[in-house]
Structure 1
Amino acid sequence: MAKILVVDDDSATRLLLKRDLKLEGHEVELAKDGEEGLESAIAFKPALIICDWVMPNLDGVEVCRRIKSDADLFATFFILLTSKVDLDDRVQGLDAGADDFLSKPVDPAELLARVRAGLRLYQSQLQLSESNRQLSKTLRDLQKTQAQLIQSEKMSSLGQMVAGIAHEINNPVTFIDGNLSHGAKYLDELINFLHHYQKYYPHPVPEMQELAEEIELEYLMKDFPKLLHSMKRGAERIREIVLSLRNFSRLDEAQMKAVDIHEGIDNTVSILQHRLGGIELMKEYREFPRVECYPAEMNQVFLHILNNAIDAVRQIHEDTGQIAIRTFPRHDGWVEIRISDNGVGIPRGLVSKVFNPFFTTKPVGAGKGLGLTISYQIVVEKHGGKLECVSQLGEGTELAIAIPIRQHRPPHSPSDSTPDR
């Protein structure tokens, strides 16, 4: 039927209670004092406890108080066995957490009736707790699903937009870059022609001499090649940004593959370069093999964490501050990526909540509270890794990403045959 613990310093009372309860079909454990009763409760985990009030050292009220403060035992139905009848005594017992009282001498019929009622309440409490647990789980699952849907749609749209912008920019940049090479060649030929002209006609007519001085011909001939060279470097930088945009979106790399994690971080930093401003970015990369992962999704993780770091630094440093990115291999076949900042930090009591859906420490309107939730799902659930946050208010935050270099997949998985591109 049910597990019942009887705690009483009187051996005759213990045996009588045990007899009546066992006849009812219950499993009964006995304890001769309060200390032994607490130990038995932890080990036996009873559904119901009948405990004498007056005992040496540890009385029934204190036993009840400790039982009700234990996370594993608080639902246990607790009956105080007592000869006390004063209202103040009963109030004291109720304040300690007692669920019912049983008067001495014990009447067997009353004993069994109170035990049956107590066990019914205990079962109802268990069912209610289980229902609450299921509801909480359902709510968390709904929040997680909602966050995934919102973020998936957002990142899908962002990825397509980024890829489209990269494609549109690439065409005119390729045209400009290609024509700059021809322009530089034509300029060299023109300057060479002018040098020959000046060599064979060292004394031009006054009008030509005045025009040469007006346009500062000598300076123009020296500066124009430098100007074309600067334009060439600018076009190359635009091409690098376009390549970073394409690599960041990685729309053609939805499957797991081995990639250079450092390249993904650098591409993400390039995307966020406009936000860094005067923030000092320090990189400390250690060598390790290519890592099996979903590259586009890992880039999302880097984007969210770096965005948060920039926001945190901006809150107290305006145009300065520091962000550090450190990577290193571990002896267990994993790699770690640590991104730290000297920003505003997070209060200690809130650090454990940063991965919860829709939770944010940013000012109202500055964030949706999804970035770190999605990052946690990507790192922990999709890659079997770990994502931890260490922070102190006013001293900055560090996010530590750890993932295995090789993912454990079933043999002949479709992703095993995906070539590295």
Structure 2
Amino acid sequence: MAKILAVDDDITVQIILQELLESEGHDVLLADDGEAALQKTQEFQPDLIICDWMMPKLDGLELCRRIKADPQLATIFLILITIREQVADRVQGLDSGADDFLSKPIEPSELQARVRSGLRLRQLNQQLSQALHHLKQTQSQLIQSEKMSSLGQMIAGIAHEINNPVTFIHGNLSHIEDYSQDLLDLVECYQQEYPNPSPHLQNKITHVNLDFLSQDFPKVLVSMKVGTERLRELVLSLRKFSRLDEAERKPVDLHEGIESALFLVQHRLSTSAGQPGIQIIKDYGDLPPFECFPGQLNQVFLHLINNAIDALEISQEKESASSKPMPTINVKTTRHNNYQVIICIIDNGIGISDSVKPRIFDPFFTTKPVGQGRGLGLSIAHQIVVKQHGGELECMSQPNVGTEMIIKLPFKKCLLNAD
């Protein structure tokens, strides 16, 4: 049974159409002018519309144009009823968006045949659209799989190449610190033993600024040590983020994955070019080890955090300095009713409009300028959360207020029993 909208300003024609269509088992809606038909189309989204060419307020051609211009309604099959038989008239109707024509006076068998044909074509179009959607998803998965494979190899190489020399340097810094302190102590002993150095030695002491060197050299070593520790943390974060050795499901600390993602975007959080830094507020709940694909979930965390930073940067550019709120990202984790983990990433950025929100998880849909986004990130994040982990990824947003991305992940029964 299909939902069909019959539009005609003649009540007799309406009754005829309703009886003929209901006899075929269809659910029939009626409208007596173009504006009412457009309103009912938007409200009920019928499978097929039969409308008269000449109608008050909005004629059949304009109704076809408006319906086909709306992406949500464009697949509805449209049949124009007309007495016009000229080729030019039919061409005009087709250009306006009509899919088929029905001549007056209406022949019942022709009406039923064209309706059946139209519904078959609509079903085929829907199947084609679904197949295209699946194809886009498969394409995005293949692109991302290849991308992550290449990224994993690159991270492994970088982590290995950085880790070896950094470990060597970091391991020797403690010895250099001891040696330098011994040498400085030795110089101090020499100064005590020989309080009156020769003019040549005195010139050398003045030239190297021995007092400053004695104070600053230990500070330089401390700075070098801090630098190598940061490099080691970076290598560790890269390894945790990619989880190169953990391609299968395994219990992990989700907070560790979030922290590694936050560490990788630290360079985007600091103050730059007159813009205030981004404040990170963490509200972590008590979560047990969670069984998942760690590398994939870390990828989701990184993408959602990067999106939040993008929204904050755009918001800061658009708002005046006096009205700018402190750019903030809140990361919250909770355990809900012992069967679900909820992770919220909230920003007070530019937000998402109602017209864009329904499409944010579509493959290759993006609002970013060319070259700044391919429209794959949120689509793949949605697939990872929903298909790979059986969870939910939801978006709550208000323009100019902010966005909250909510990840809901179900616990494995074995882990709940163990916990």
- TM category (shorter chain) comes to 0.7 to 0.9
**Structure 1 residues 407, 165: closer, same or farther in 2, change over 3 A?**
farther
Cα distance in 1 for residues equivalent to 2:160 and 2:314: 35
| Cα offset, 1:177, TM superposition | 0.7
For 1:229, the equivalent position in structure 2 comes to 222
CA RMSD of aligned residues (A): 3.9
Cα distance in 2 for residues equivalent to 1:93 and 1:190: 97
Report matched runs for 1:209-220 at 5 Å: 209-220=202-213
AA matched with 1:221: S
Cα deviations across residues 279-310 of structure 1 (Å, max 9, x unaligned)?
22222211111111111001111121111111
For 1:297, the equivalent position in structure 2 comes to 296
For 2:368, the equivalent position in structure 1 comes to 362
| Cα offset, 1:186, TM superposition | 0.8
Report matched runs for 1:213-292 at 5 Å: 213-278=206-271, 279-292=278-291
For 2:327, the equivalent position in structure 1 comes to 321
AA matched with 1:395: V
For 1:46, the equivalent position in structure 2 comes to 25
Q: Is the contact between residue 54 and residue 60 of structure 2 (CA under 8 Å) also seen in structure 1?
A: no
Cα deviations across residues 338-396 of structure 1 (Å, max 9, x unaligned)?
11222222211111110001111212322111100000000011111011111222222
Q: 1:334 aligns with which of 335, 340, 343?
A: 340
Cα distance in 2 for residues equivalent to 1:360 and 1:93: 36
**Structure 1 residues 333, 214: closer, same or farther in 2, change over 3 A?**
same
Q: Does 1:376 align with 2:382?
A: yes
**Structure 1 residues 150, 355: closer, same or farther in 2, change over 3 A?**
same
Report matched runs for 1:2-401 at 5 Å: 46-47=25-26, 69=41, 71=44, 75=48, 115-278=108-271, 279-318=278-317, 321-401=327-407
**Structure 1 residues 123, 169: closer, same or farther in 2, change over 3 A?**
same
AA matched with 2:385: V
Cα distance in 2 for residues equivalent to 1:268 and 1:308: 12
Match of 2:355, SS?
helix
| Cα offset, 1:275, TM superposition | 2.0
The answer to which of 213-222 and 267-276 deviates more is 213-222
Q: Is the contact between residue 170 and residue 229 of structure 2 (CA under 8 Å) also seen in structure 1?
A: yes
Cα distance in 1 for residues equivalent to 2:38 and 2:360: 33
Cα distance in 1 for residues equivalent to 2:45 and 2:312: 43
Q: Is the contact between residue 309 and residue 343 of structure 1 (CA under 8 Å) also seen in structure 2?
A: yes
**Structure 1 residues 45, 215: closer, same or farther in 2, change over 3 A?**
farther
> What is the total number of aligned residue pairs between the two structures?
348
**Structure 1 residues 48, 293: closer, same or farther in 2, change over 3 A?**
closer
**Structure 1 residues 358, 176: closer, same or farther in 2, change over 3 A?**
same
Q: Is the contact between residue 358 and residue 369 of structure 1 (CA under 8 Å) also seen in structure 2?
A: yes
AA matched with 1:210: N
TM-score, normalised on structure 1? 0.72
| Cα offset, 1:48, TM superposition | 7.8
| Cα offset, 1:217, TM superposition | 1.6
AA matched with 2:335: P
Cα distance in 2 for residues equivalent to 1:389 and 1:68: 29
Q: Identity percentage over the alignment? A: 45
Cα distance in 1 for residues equivalent to 2:283 and 2:301: 15
| Cα offset, 1:405, TM superposition | 2.6
Q: Which runs of 5+ in 2 are unaligned?
A: 3-14, 64-77, 83-105, 272-277
**Structure 1 residues 395, 66: closer, same or farther in 2, change over 3 A?**
closer
For 1:10, the equivalent position in structure 2 comes to none
For 1:6, the equivalent position in structure 2 comes to none
For 1:84, the equivalent position in structure 2 comes to none
| Cα offset, 1:192, TM superposition | 2.3
Match of 1:394, SS?
coil
**Structure 1 residues 260, 45: closer, same or farther in 2, change over 3 A?**
farther
* Larger CA Rg, structure 1 vs 2: 1
Q: Which runs of 5+ in 1 are unaligned?
A: 4-33, 52-58, 79-86, 102-112, 410-421
| Cα offset, 1:93, TM superposition | 12
**Structure 1 residues 48, 162: closer, same or farther in 2, change over 3 A?**
closer
Cα deviations across residues 53-111 of structure 1 (Å, max 9, x unaligned)?
xxxxxx9969x979975748654989xxxxxxxx9999x9999999999xxxxxxxxxx
| Cα offset, 1:317, TM superposition | 1.4
**Structure 1 residues 60, 376: closer, same or farther in 2, change over 3 A?**
closer
Match of 1:324, SS?
strand
**Structure 1 residues 68, 224: closer, same or farther in 2, change over 3 A?**
closer
| Cα offset, 1:117, TM superposition | 4.0
Match of 2:171, SS?
helix
Cα distance in 2 for residues equivalent to 1:203 and 1:60: 111
AA matched with 2:367: T
Q: Is the contact between residue 346 and residue 391 of structure 1 (CA under 8 Å) also seen in structure 2?
A: yes
